[in-house]
Structure 1
Amino acid sequence: MFTTNVGSVDRAFRIVLGLVLIALVFVGPQTPLGWLGLVPLLTGFMRTCPLYSLFGLSTCSTK
Structure 2
Amino acid sequence: MKCNVGKTDRVLRIIAGLVIIGFGLALQNWWGAVGIVPLFTGIVRWCPAYVPLGISTNK
TM-score (norm 1): 0.86
- Name the residue aligned to 2:35: 37
- Name the residue aligned to 1:53: 51
> How far, CA to CA, are the matches of 2:51 and 2:44 in structure 1?
13
What RMSD, in angstroms, separates the aligned Cα atoms of the two structures?
0.9
Question: Identity rate of aligned residues, in percent?
Answer: 44
Query: CA offset at residue 59 of structure 1?
Result: 0.3
The list of structure 1 runs, each at least 4 consecutive aligned residues, that deviate by more than 4 angstroms after superposition, is none
TM-score (norm 2): 0.91
Query: CA offset at residue 35 of structure 1?
Result: 1.1
> How far, CA to CA, are the matches of 1:5 and 1:30 in structure 2?
33
Matched positions, count = 59
Note the alpha carbon deviations across 1:8-45, whole angstroms, 9 max, x for none: 00000000000000001222x33312210000000000
**Which segments of 5 or more consecutive residues in structure 1 lack a partner in the other structure?**
none
- Name the residue aligned to 2:16: 17
